[in-house]
Amino acid sequence: MRKSHPVRRAVLAGAATVSGIVLLLSLKPASDPGSAQAAGGQLPPAAAGQAPQGGVNGAVTGDAVQTQYGAVQVRLTMNGGKITQAEAVQAPKGGRSDQITASSVPRLNQAAVAAQSAEIDAVSGATYTSAGYKKSLQSALDKAKASAGGAQGSGNAQTVTGDVAQTQYGPVQVRITVAGGKITKAEAVQAPKGGRSDQITSASVPRLNQAAVAAGSAEIDAVSGATYTSAGYKKSLQSALDKAPAGGGSSQAAGSGGGSSQGAGSGGGQAQTQTLTGSVAQTQYGPVQVRITVAGGKITKAEAVQAPKGGRSDQITSSSVPRLNQAAVAAGNAQIDAVSGATYTSAGYKQSLQSALDQAGG
């Protein structure tokens, strides 16, 4: 038998080696992150705005977002840190808005559950509603993230977004990062803009951000020449601090009745007291916003930090709000009766109260 030539054997061996490598590469697991991305799949959760995986349970209500056609507000139901249900508790209504809302909101709700984040596509023909929905959804996720951070320990960084504060020149909204019980970062995610407001905002907001970090509270001085922006900033900042979970250490209330998230009594192991501000509820006669103090899982104090005013509203507010405050403390929840003659104020009060309770996890 004729022997194979050494060169021929080398060529055959090389070809076999190449074939083996190709075969091995073709058997590479599909779970490889690179292949998932190439196939159009999603990488493991890492992006900001994703539903927190810290075991958050219960309802979380996002901030009410004002759009050109009305307010949008999203409430999430979460189980084990995952969004199991999304619903719009407020959406534009009246005229053509009814048709757009009925068509778009169910699709946005489904998208939120599917994406587990605020990174969802706008619904065609519902641009403003979609934008407001996504913003309120992100706010709800921020609140859930803060709650998850509080449950895991005060050493974790938490991002909390305050309520929108309306000023004469435009809305102001503040977002803070809290770590180890201290504000490590403050930023204005909304501020007055257009005309002279651009100059005032660019000059004042960086100083307000620095002041918030330095003070660790909303007790900061107004910037000269930016009175309205400063007032709105402080109000939204206080709201963010109120939302920071107990144990965060920085949620000291500004202004009168300033409670803080410190342990009740001198014994450090006792139940903690939280001051929580609900979202602003828009009514036919003006905004309503409720702040509650919770200790040992019970509402110990309720107050309306905003209520309809001017003309006959002053009389209705002064008569109804004290009764609503008492009812909230007595009931320990938002299932309270409306005050006769103050239907709109009562409805707004209950909505804001429920938002505050959602933040408390109750």
> SS3 of 182, please?
strand
pTM here? 0.39
> Residue 39: its pLDDT value, please?
31
pLDDT along the chain (362 residues), means of 10: 56 58 45 32 43 69 90 89 91 93 96 93 95 93 75 64 89 88 89 92 93 90 93 91 60 37 41 79 89 86 90 90 92 91 92 85 58
- What is the Cα 306 distance to its own chain's centre? 20
> Residue 230: its pLDDT value, please?
94
Amino acid identity, residue 205? V
Side-chain half-sphere CA neighbours of 124 within 13 A = 0
> Residue 49: its pLDDT value, please?
56
- What is the Cα 347 distance to its own chain's centre? 22
> Residue 15: its pLDDT value, please?
56
Q: List Cβ neighbours of 128 (8 Å cut-off, separation of 6 or more).
A: 67, 68, 69, 92
> Residue 155: its pLDDT value, please?
52
For residues 238 and 176, is the Cβ–Cβ distance under 8 A? no
> Residue 211: its pLDDT value, please?
92
> SS3 of 156, please?
coil
Q: How many residues does the chain have?
A: 362
- Retrieve residue 166's tokens: 């309306």
Which contiguous run of DSSP H or E holds residue 239?
helix 227-243
Which contiguous run of DSSP H or E holds residue 101?
helix 96-115
> Residue 21: its pLDDT value, please?
54
Nearest to 99 by CA among 66, 68, 126, 72: 126
> Residue 54: its pLDDT value, please?
56
